[in-house]
Structure 1
Amino acid sequence: MTAEQFADRHIGPDPADERRMLEAVGYGSIDELMDAAIPEVIRWHGTLDLPAPASEQEAIAELRALAARNTVAVSMIGLGYHGTHTPAVIRRNVLEDPAWYTAYTPYQPEISQGRLEALLNFQTMVTDLTGLATANASMLDEGTAAAEAMTLARRASKSKSPAYVVDADALPQTIAVIASRAEPLGIEVRVLDLDADELPGEFFGLHLQYPGASGAVRDHAPLVRAAHAAGALVTVAADLLALTLLRAPGEIGADIAAGTTQRFGVPMGFGGPHAGYLAVRAGLERMLPGRLVGVSRDADGNPAYRLALQTREQHIRREKATSNICTAQVLLAVMAGMYAVYHGPDGLREIARRTHDHAARLAAGLRAGGVEVADVAFFDTVTVRVPGRAAEVVAAAAERRVNLRLVDADRVGISCDETTTGAHLNAVWAAFGVDPVAGEVDAALPRELRRTSDFLTHPVFRTHHSETAMLRYLRRLSDFDYALDRGMIPLGSCTMKLNATTEMEPVSWPEFAHIHPFAPDAQTAGYREMIAQLEGWLAEVTGYDAVSVQPNAGSQGELAGLLAIRSYHASRGAGHRDVCLIPSSAHGTNAASAVMAGMRVVVVGCDADGNVDLVDLDAKIDKHRDALAAIMVTYPSTHGVYETGIAQLCAKVHDAGGQVYVDGANLNALVGFAKPGKFGADVSHLNLHKTFCIPHGGGGPGVGPVAVRAHLAPFLPGDPLGSHVDAQPAISAAKYGSAGILPIPWAYLRMMGAEGLSRATGVAVLAANYVAARLRGHFPVLYAGNKGLVAHECILDLRPLSKATGVSVDDVAKRLIDYGFHAPTMSFPVAGTLMVEPTESEDLAELDRFCDAMIAIRAEIDTVGAGEWPAGDNPLANAPHTAAMVSGDSWPHPYPRSVGAYPGSVDRMAKYWPPVRRIDGAYGDRNLVCSCPAPEAFED
């Protein structure tokens, strides 16, 4: 394969297909199409300054060379990141399986039952171990989970105090993220040594670490009682592996538990991605941020899963949203939940006991050698005092390829984990200059703090312990689902494109997977060089001057960009500027992020063509000129249009002293043809899981880097372990966020090169216009720009048809399942519409298959409208059709079984059958069940 061919592998249509598509759209070339679609005022006609494209083999070789510059040492640093053994059956059949990693967020639950069940396992695992009532379907990492717990406590507490108390023995990176989130919201964080300092008279919340960063295991029950007496809520950041042996937070009255599930089979990855968790006591479940999987029932009354309550609350509540988190870490949550399924409660206890035994043996050997070990109860971590010698000991251990934690000049922290061996203990003892210890060692857990309650009692955690059983369970669940490995997922605003295998392979390499985020710089040279290259390429592609990859989701990139703007204004003595203008068409996370950044949201209207109304913009600027901080605008617009007034918009805001934030969600329509950093924007976040090929993973992981012009560069996210006083806010718990998946966009950019990236953009825009051209005579295309062209997506307006026939947008979405498709984005940004984004990866045959299906569905709608099928009993109203439904003994419907089962030209040999019929979401919200139901629920 030559270097130029990877783009041909990535881009679906071949030159002949492109010619046919251009003919349908009415243009002679892609360049001609792009010149017509993109306003000349922002059009960029240069060539991206990127390395010449590498072949797949060359890119892998370069990544191998970078990986070789990382040192995979034995990590005993701890601080919430631990070595773990990923069971091979889970690594191969979840992490490395496109059936799992190419899936989308389960907003269409009927075709997402496998990953929804896996997430319900995750939620059940968390609630069982924490002893709390309800857990969500994962958070971004422990630091952000703890910050969300803080804001949840503020909402739920009756206390009027702005004070939030944090245990000084909390993880330092968690303290940093909490402080970053608190400041814009006016929350006063007080970090106290709770062994010595008294709680204040008034405070709304208390954050405890269990075990502490030092390793200490404390009885927190008295603190919980004291906090409740003061009207405060208590969050316990708990280690789930420790909770297999230690009393659960819920058993001492904790209101919230937060943390990470990283050590449940998920590699450290230099900081991520990992599935954080958040669990709450009864009564707080409707305040949980993020996603929550619940049990409902389908049209036949059978149990079925779907997202509950919080689903896309940002788009519904906007500036009133309680969180800007709109993603999760689904792929990693699936891995962690399956780790618990595979090992079961007995296996987890055994791993925890072995981990604790190693720590106890380590401490006993050090004490026997005359080393001072902190005299506290511990689970897996000990703190050792060696006055003036700490750095020397850490260096001596590093020479033996073991990383310890340098606490300060006098103290060293040492953590054991699932991967710890006797040889590792010998190396540590040698670093301290003591002899190995032999014989039995007593456990170091106080009897009164040991767990007595059972956990993971559901049969799913007691069944699949052989590899055969686990393999078949994973296969059964993946067969339930529809992902990109089956066919097209034409979701507007979500850019579901090819995640090439070559891009994915390096994620599992030990040199990338098994690096602690706080490992010494000398051991991470390859990682840091790769990240620097990636940040440089992203800056070149976007036209900005600096990039930080720390934000581990698009929502976090938004927050980082707005905090940079806030800090910039403050640095110029303009801290009073706090108004953020947001168009009514914007992504819902925009408004939520602005509120989290301490800004006031002012909505700017859109005109009849879906563009930002520049007249209303002028009025809002005039009204708020002295307080204007920023405008957040998505480009191309959320309506799928290249707005002609974008340069004018930027100028107006700048003239009023504000900054321009361009949401990078739709960057797939710009790369190689326009640069936000050059047409007037000051800052953007980029969705690497959209434009740059990190897979959606069923709803995460993602990476949302923030890119800025030079004047904002000093205000990019800071290192969470940074010690300088003027450090910038930390957005994520690790300096480089979810670094473990950054090889994916690195490989994509390296193999595509400048020409490939530009061609990908052009083909994505061509594909959207081709779909619009084929369907315009059957469904109105709601918005269009210059010469009737759309950008990378088009909105099909079903409202007139729904009004005339009663067929809803839901009916069309579910009927598409029968035709073998995942539905486009439903009712966003306009209710009653479908937003279609085909991307550059789908070939012409798949585009035509989708268009043919939509045209056939239009004919079915007309049949309903003509009265030939009843409004409430037709193939659309009854969709999707399951195999059980169409093969049943009874068929009372006025259309043939074959029409329900095999509509249009569906390939009978490749038919996808959904496992459940249409799900009743309202029933599930009224009867909230968010953990594994009893097996009896599935009996006929």
Structure 2
Amino acid sequence: MSLHDTFATRHLGSIGADRASLLEATGFETLDALIDRAVPNSIRSTRPLDLPGPLSETAALHQLRGIMSRNQVLKSFIGQGYYGTWVPGVIQRNILENPGWYTAYTPYQAEIAQGRLEALLNFQTMVTSLTGLPVANASLLDEGTAAAEAMSLALSGKPKGKVMFVSDACHPQTVDVVRTRAEPLGIEIVSGDWRSFEPSQVEGFFAALVQYPDTCGEVCDFASFFEKVHAAQGLAVVAADLLALTLLKAPGEFGADICLGSSQRLGVPMGFGGPHAAFMACSDALKRKLPGRIIGVSHDDKGRPGFRLSLQTREQHIRRDKATSNICTAQVLLAVMASMYAVYHGPEGLKNIAQRVHSLTGALKAALVNGGLKVTTEQFFDTLVVEVPQSDTVVRMAALEGYNLRRLDEGRVGISLDETTLAEDLKPICRALGVEYVDLEPAAGGWEASLARESEILTQQVFNRYHTETEMLRYIKRLESKDLALNESMIPLGSCTMKLNATSEMLPLSWAEVGSIHPFVPAEQSEGYREMLNQLEGWLAEITGFAGVSLQPNAGSQGEYAGLLAIRRYHLDRGDHQRDVCLIPLSAHGTNPASAVMAGMKVVGVKCDDEGNIDVADLQKQIDAHADRVSALMVTYPSTHGVFEDTIIDICERVHAAGGQVYMDGANMNAQVGLTSPGHIGADVCHLNLHKTFCIPHGGGGPGVGPIGVAAHLLPYLPGHETLADTAGTVCSAAWGSASINTISWMYIIMMGAEGLTEATQVAILNANYVASRLKHHFPILYTGQDGLVAHECIIDVRPLSAKSGITVEDVAKRLMDYGYHAPTMSWPVAGTLMIEPTESESKMELDRFCDAMVSIHGEIMAVVNGEADAQDNVLKNAPHPAEDVCSDDWGHSYSREQAAYPLPGQRQHKFWPSIGRIDNVAGDRNLVCTCDSVEAYAAASAG
């Protein structure tokens, strides 16, 4: 195999002469010499990683296909929140399989994310229309997590008590996730039949959760029950099915304060559990505490309407332990797919799909009743519960016919039909239940008249315009062209950066044996998935130096929570009930303190020294002050400041000596792989961001996977799940979380192999030091380690120049858009700075292009300092410059159009144009508008 046939040479941005040139610029002759100086010897591991591979792309795909072919792709009518669906080809090819959509970053820089933001606004509009509530967020992680977030939202009003009612007719996995989240917060969960529950008689009652239709398919009228809930000063929460809501009365119309659920069945594959976009909508009174992201409408500096993140934008990083939630990752790519499904089908198309599913369910019920079986579901949408002599036998017979049914108990099975159900499917289903299918009129009893939908749905223009494939294709392309993604240029965000998401890694997502598996199929039908996931868990355990890994957490924030929960449960089992203090450096990720509070811990800050390292003296002071109450230390390594701290082993030993556990935030694991590991350093638990270190694409702000690795003593406290016969510590709806996208990381690891992964870490450190060496003469590097070296990222300080010029770090971020770049992480962890992480996948050519842009911007700032450019009317203060402004007859600036649009010569050959000028954030928050018709409608309104 030649050098260029290996995957590592495709993944790594520099080889040969280019790498030598990078090394020369940093002052080292070899990569090993650089690493020996940059990474403290005290933490280096001498044992090579024991991993398979490396395989070529073709060989890896062949091997994975062989493994996944062991899955049995049956039609799964199990229901329980997961349904078969058809992914429209125009959406699969042009969104799911399109790097212009899946390699985009979270839309924190709104001016170069207008496409995604519009699609997410469509998602919110769809949710508000179907739920009948005025405000929705832009997605959450899954239905179970959304229910837990709804509980926290209801609690945020500071009720007098902490008792929540959860209907026993909710999906079991949802109940388990809510119970997990409730326990550390001291919330009591009361479960039972909502019909007999009296809220006014329960002291401390603050909310009630019901399912609509419920897990057994019953469609119930909750209006009178919600009146009781409200009379008892509680909030009414509904977990609902969006497809059913096209025909059923909206929850907001019968008293719901919060509505949540999953949008999976709107054109998103089941994927053995995920990823899928959950949703949440709420009353107007709750909107400013709604968890997750909200897309709002504001305007730019020319008054043109534009979309942006509103209210909760990165609010964890501002409010820390007082944050509403630790939710950082949404499910953007999947929310975009669901919203586009609604756009493509429109209101009539969705209602037709729903009516067809309902009619087939009615026909099935009629045939079963005619055959002498008792169907206990009286009012149904798509699900029936049937009494049978032996459910195990029926489920087995159905599987032989090619169908999965749901075993409820010894004498009952559930059947949930879906969009993929055909009329010819009903005959073998009946045969499996021991009756002959007879084509009869669909059974009556769908639902009583009072529950039929009377209000219109999806009346907005966007849902009534793009129903041909030609127009849909053009709409998707039009939105894509407004966004800057990794297929356009490097996205150098420190801490949560973007690197190559190789095409070969992405291909398996479209395989039927990956996408079409229900998460609750019998174990023998998911053997391929289980083998792949077990292998990946083993590889990640080897890489992290831990005894075991759980892939259940489906976001980094969820991994944080799951890791802290494992520590909490460990202490409680040992009788250390008093251990409730979590020590967190002031430089930590904002999700860290929010996660600690969710895990029932009290946050105590630890200072950092002038070099950005943990202040060991202050750490010891806090340990001494809290003595036997220390539960955990949360530490990021390398530090959030981009430095390998020499004292990390000493820090871990001090916490252990105090009886605490060390939780390591794995956001920067890509600077450790193959060189050291959390387990080697002394951590007890670590979460990983697979969307960063292990190549799962960011997807515009989700999907993500945040698995946790733990030391041997914490193995019993990994998240459980009903599928695993242990529900303790369940943190999301499916046992392996967003299982399908783990194929991406599986492919990455096996194609890179141990040497390739180690080299990737080394090159990431090389690239960061190269960028630092090029920029340090123009912008001070805020923190460095020995010999002035950094780890995998560097922080450049804009504050000295800001003091002289009045140019802010935000001005620099917006000006970078004119150069065709997404800004590095802005003003975090230090205000007035930019944190740059180039990754190992970027070439010297791209690194130089980015550095040239930054050097040019430095020159533009100096022009202001020297009086050569106006202090207010300059290219930085007015950035970005969309084509509409540059082409306008009304220019009037003191600088030329050429300087605004083409600051570097190479841009004449190719230019990325921001689609809008600088967004007014304040105006958007003061006048929150989070549903839409379309950007064209807003533009027309503003023009009129």
3-state secondary structure, aligned to 1:581: strand
Using the TM superposition, give the Cα deviation of residue 933 of structure 1 relative to its aligned residue in structure 2, in angstroms: 4.3
Q: What is the 5 A alignment of 1:164-179?
A: 164-179=164-179
Q: How big is each residue's C-alpha offset from its partner over 1:716-772, in whole Å with a ceiling of 9 and x where there is no partner?
A: 000145555xx4210110000000101000000000001100110000000000000
- 2:759 matched to which residue of 1? 759
How many angstroms does 1:696 deviate by? 0.1
Deviation of residue 160 (structure 1)? 1.1
Q: Could you tell me how far apart the structure 2 residues matched to 1:682 and 1:375 are?
A: 49
Describe the superposition over 1:225-250 as per-residue Cα deviations: whole angstroms up to 9, x where unpaired.
00000000011001000000000000
Write the deviation string for residues 185-226 of structure 1: whole angstroms up to 9, x where unpaired.
000001111234444434100001000001000000011100
Partner of 2:276: 274
Alignment-mate amino acid for residue 618 of structure 2: D
2:493 aligned to which of 488, 491, 494: 491
Match of 1:512, SS? helix
Question: TM (normalized to structure 2)?
Answer: 0.98
Query: Is the Cα contact below 8 Å between 2:121 and 2:138 reproduced in 1?
Result: yes
1:278 counterpart letter in structure 2: M
Distance (whole Å) between structure 2 residues aligned to residue 723 and residue 279 of structure 1: 32
Q: Is residue 642–residue 793 contact of structure 2 (8 Å, CA) maintained in 1?
A: yes
Match of 1:784 in 2: 784
Aligned partner of 1:835 in structure 2 is: 835
Q: Which AA in structure 2 matches 1:419?
A: T
Q: Which amino acid aligns with 1:910?
A: H
Q: How does 1:558-569 map to 2 (within 5 A)?
A: 558-569=560-571
- Among 340, 350, 353, the residue aligned to 1:351: 353
Tell me the TM-score normalised to structure 1 length.
0.99
Contact 2:377–2:385, Cα closer than 8 Å, also in 1:
no
Q: What is the rounded CA distance, in whole Å, between the counterparts of 2:577 and 2:364 in structure 1? A: 52
Q: Match of 2:302?
A: 300
Q: Secondary structure at the match of 1:284?
A: helix
Question: Whole-Å Cα distance in 2 between the matches of residues 480 and 711 of structure 1?
Answer: 50
- How far does residue 463 in structure 1 lie from its aligned partner after superposition? 0.2
Q: CA deviation at 1:442?
A: 4.4
Q: 1: distance between equivalents of 2:459 and 2:610?
A: 57
Within a 5 Å distance, the mapping from 1:199-218 to structure 2 comes to 199=199, 200-202=201-203, 203-218=205-220
Q: How does 1:50-61 map to 2 (within 5 A)?
A: 50-61=51-62
Partner of 2:18: 17
By how many angstroms is 1:96 displaced? Answer: 0.3
> Counterpart in 1 of 2:333?
331
The answer to whether the Cα contact below 8 Å between 1:545 and 1:713 also exists between their aligned partners in 2 is yes
Corresponding residue for residue 366 of structure 1: 368
- CA–CA distance in 2 between the matches of 1:413 and 1:729? 27
Q: Is the 2:216–2:377 Cα contact (8 Å) retained in structure 1?
A: no
**Which residue in 2 is equivalent to 1:108?**
109
Mapped contact 1:177–1:720 kept (Cα < 8 A): no
Q: Distance in 1 between matches of 2:374 and 2:442?
A: 17
The percentage of aligned residue pairs carrying the same residue is 60
Contact 1:59 1:750 in 2 (8 A): yes
Structure 2 SS opposite 1:283: helix
Query: In the alignment, what sits opposite 1:613?
Result: 615
SS of 1:564's partner is helix
**Preserved CA contact (<8 Å) 2:366 2:440:** no
What one-letter code is carried by the residue in structure 2 that aligns with 1:74? K
Shift in Å, 1:159: 3.4
SS in 1 for 2:43: coil
What SS class does the counterpart of residue 678 from structure 1 fall into? helix
Counterpart in 1 of 2:454?
452
Q: Classify the secondary structure of the residue corresponding to 2:784.
A: coil
Letter in 2 for 1:13: S
Instruction: Indicate if the aligned counterparts of 2:365 and 2:443 stay in contact, CA closer than 8 A.
Output: no
1:294-693 paired onto structure 2 within 5 Å = 294-387=296-389, 389-443=390-444, 444-693=446-695
Q: Distance in 2 between matches of 1:255 and 1:6?
A: 52
Give the C-alpha shift of residue 29 in structure 1. 1.1
User: Structure 1: which 5+ residue stretches go unaligned?
Assistant: none
Task: Name 2:909's counterpart in structure 1.
Answer: 909
Q: Measure how far apart 1:910 and its partner are.
A: 1.0
User: Partner of 2:30 in structure 1?
Assistant: 29
Paired with 2:771 and 2:99, the residues of 1 have a C-alpha distance of 26
Partner letter of residue 233 of structure 1?
Answer: L
Cα distance in 2 for residues equivalent to 1:882 and 1:475:
18
Q: How does 1:62-141 map to 2 (within 5 A)?
A: 62-141=63-142
Query: Could you tell me which residue of structure 2 aligns to residue 184 of structure 1?
Result: 184
Q: CA deviation at 1:904?
A: 2.3
Shift of 1:828: 0.6
1:742-891 map, 5 Å: 742-891=742-891
Superposed CA deviations along residues 397-422 of structure 1, whole A, max 9, x for unmatched, are: 01111000000001100000000112
Task: Please say if residues 606 and 614 of structure 2, whose CA atoms lie closer than 8 Å, have aligned partners that are also in contact.
Answer: yes
The separation in 1 between residues aligned to 2:700 and 2:327, in whole angstroms, is 15
**Within 1, Cα distance between the matches of 2:907 and 2:524?**
56
CA distance in 1, matches of 2:159, 2:535: 48
Cα separation, 2, equivalents of 1:265 and 1:2: 42
Deviations 1:847-882 (A, max 9, x none): 000111100100000001112222111000011001
SS of residue paired to 1:677: helix
Q: Is 1:261 equivalent to 2:225 in the alignment? A: no
Contact persistence 1:291–1:327 (CA under 8 A): no
Structure-to-structure mapping, 1:701-716, within 5 angstroms? 701-716=703-718
Given the superposition, is the C-alpha separation of residues 933 and 865 from structure 1 closer, same or farther in structure 2, using an over 3 Å criterion?
Answer: farther
**For 1:267 and 1:30, how far apart are their aligned partners in 2?**
43
Displacement of 1:540: 0.6
Deviation at residue 30 of structure 1 after TM alignment: 1.2
**Residues 478 and 928 (structure 1 numbering): CA distance in 2 closer, same or farther, change over 3 Å?**
same
Aligned to 1:162: 162
Distance 1:233 1:441 in 2: 37
CA apart distance, 1:46: 2.2
Q: Which amino acid aligns with 1:744?
A: I
Rounded Cα–Cα distance in structure 2 between residues aligned with 1:171 and 1:751: 39
Q: Which moved more, 1:424-433 or 1:472-481?
A: 424-433
Alignment-mate amino acid for residue 430 of structure 2: W
Q: Report deviation, 1:65.
A: 0.3
Q: CA RMSD in A?
A: 1.1
